[in-house]
Amino acid sequence: MGKITGFMEFDRENPPERDPLSRAADFNEYVLPVPDELLCRQSARCMDCGVPFCHAGFITDGNSIGCPLRNLIPEVNDLVYRGNVKAAYARLRVTNPFPEFTGRVCPALCEGSCTLGEHGDPVTVKLIEKFAADEAAKEGFYKSERAPRIGKKAAVIGAGPSGLAAAEYLNRFGADVTVFEKADRPGGLLMYGIPNMKLDKKIVMSRAAELKKEGVEFVFGAEVGVNYPLIDIVRGFDAVVVCIGAGRERRINADGADNDGVVTAMTYLTASTRAVLAKKPSEISAKGKRVIVVGGGDTGTDCVATAVRQGAAGVVQLEIMPPPPDKRPDSTPWPLFPRLFKTDYGHKEAAAVFGADPRRFLTTVKRINGKNGRVVSADVVKVRWEGRNFVEDAKPQTLPADLIITAMGFLGPQTEIINELGLKTDPRGNIAADRFETGVPGIFAAGDARRGPSLVVWAISEGINAAKACLRLFGDK
């Protein structure tokens, strides 16, 4: 694959980015287009390993190995290296209906399992995937086609990544698919949970428009079980795929959390994206405010980057865990995906604007202080971990704050649809669906609602596999 000696000749080169200080002034994508010569060098590094793990796509002891979609990565890399990007994109689409999404927002589990990464820097698989998808859009490689109909109707509840994937696959094999989405646009977290500078919303809308051309129908503003009767869906379709996500956010457990100015990440990011799309100021803005982001994951970083763009007076990001290691730890040997220390786009921007990395590790909020019902500061404390528990390691420090954004993860799916359909749940509150079948005839579940809070790439994989379960049902009939 690629150039036989490429991995020995070329070092890893990450995609070029806009200058952190200048890009912090807008919400445009921060990753720049990739020069052809860089792509040629990077795809040449795929080393023709005997047993590639990059597309393994399974979990062992709770750790990921390779791409959950099982993308044919060495073949894609080889085709890009040889200049046949059209064929590379076609090869990607065999397993991944949305490479334009994963090429932007996936943490690249594949790279964590790259054989080259066992003793050096892995191949830039994510970069190559994004390039192929963008070239396909620019050159018009992909053509919308309507598949012959099989006379079966499927409803998908939720237009997030799992719902879109289920709809795409079912439609591809001839089912009449209707997607019911409570928001006003498709995408779920792709639309409102991931900011525009990471994933331009035009890309999400364009991909949904292609699905519509191919026969998928969308009903927006339909909160099933609230303003859209669930019974109408159950009776009107041969199968229903529940892809409602894991929208219950974890709330901060601290005195004073009920003060105005304490908001969840999804509330904040949704308001910001709506404002960007409407080209008007956000209803929840960080402009001129001292901001504390509680949570050190990707969503927390997105909140940091958004606050910087809105003109925050300062941003601090708190993470209760210690910083990850710089090098692969013994606990995640190759080919397991390692969690390593990284300085993400939002951290670079905050450092450029304010002069320092915004992160404080091993720190948590002890109390939120308010005045006249409005947040004015937070008492934070350093901690140390003793096994699975942490203990306070110092006296609290008071940080001024006008806006506190909690990005502490998700607890599970909303329960209204689960209860109305009489679906069983697992101990974590997720929909219990062995082989994506809920146990209620004709009702399937996929994505974060079944798996628990996870990654976009896993949600897409779940949607595809739930669609396959539906097709098995249709075949039995």
Mean pLDDT by 10 residues, the chain (477 residues): 87 96 98 92 92 92 93 96 96 96 97 93 96 95 88 98 98 97 97 98 97 97 91 95 95 96 98 98 98 97 98 98 94 93 97 98 97 98 94 94 97 93 95 97 97 96 98 80
303 and 452 housed in the same domain: no
Name the strand (E) or helix (H) holding 177: strand 176-181
Contacts of 5 (CB under 8 A, 6+ apart): none
Kindly state whether residue 147 falls inside one of the protein's structural domains: no
Range of the domain at 318: 251-408
Single-letter code of the amino acid located at 417: I
Among 408, 435, 465, give the residue marking a domain's end: 408
| 32 touches 16 (CB < 8 A) | yes
Instruction: Establish how many alpha carbons lie within 13 A of residue 366's alpha carbon, considering only the half-sphere containing its beta carbon.
Output: 17
Kindly state whether residue 190 falls inside one of the protein's structural domains: yes
Kindly state whether residue 129 falls inside one of the protein's structural domains: yes
CA distance linking residue 31 with residue 199, whole number of Å:
10
Cα angle 394-395-400, degrees, rounded to a multiple of 5: 120
Residue 119 is predicted with a pLDDT of 86
243 and 255 housed in the same domain: no
Kindly state whether residue 148 falls inside one of the protein's structural domains: no
209 and 234 housed in the same domain: yes
163 and 197 housed in the same domain: yes
261 and 398 housed in the same domain: yes
Alpha-carbon dihedral of residues 128, 131, 133, 138, nearest 10 degrees? -160
Residue 146 is predicted with a pLDDT of 86
CA distances 274 to 25, 283, 361, 452, 454, Å, are: 18, 9, 31, 26, 24
456 and 390 housed in the same domain: no
CA distance linking residue 471 with residue 4, whole number of Å:
42
pLDDT (tens digit per residue) in 247-278: 999 999 999 999 999 999 999 999 999 999 99
| 259 touches 252 (CB < 8 A) | no
Q: How many domains does the structure of the chain reveal?
A: 3
Residue 477 is predicted with a pLDDT of 43
| 55 touches 67 (CB < 8 A) | yes
Kindly state whether residue 81 falls inside one of the protein's structural domains: yes
342 and 448 housed in the same domain: no
272: domain CATH number?
3.50.50.60
258 and 381 housed in the same domain: yes
Kindly state whether residue 1 falls inside one of the protein's structural domains: no
- Rounded to a whole number of angstroms, the CA Rg of the chain reads 23
Kindly state whether residue 146 falls inside one of the protein's structural domains: no
131 and 194 housed in the same domain: no
φ/ψ bin of 153: left (φ > 0), alpha (ψ from -120 to 50), beta (otherwise):
beta
- Number of Cβ within 10 Å of residue 173's Cβ equals 15
| 90 touches 141 (CB < 8 A) | yes
Residue 61 is predicted with a pLDDT of 86
66 and 123 housed in the same domain: yes
DSSP string covering 399-416, please? EE-SEEEE---EEE--SH
166 and 78 housed in the same domain: no
Residue 1 is predicted with a pLDDT of 65
Kindly state whether residue 235 falls inside one of the protein's structural domains: yes
379 and 296 housed in the same domain: yes
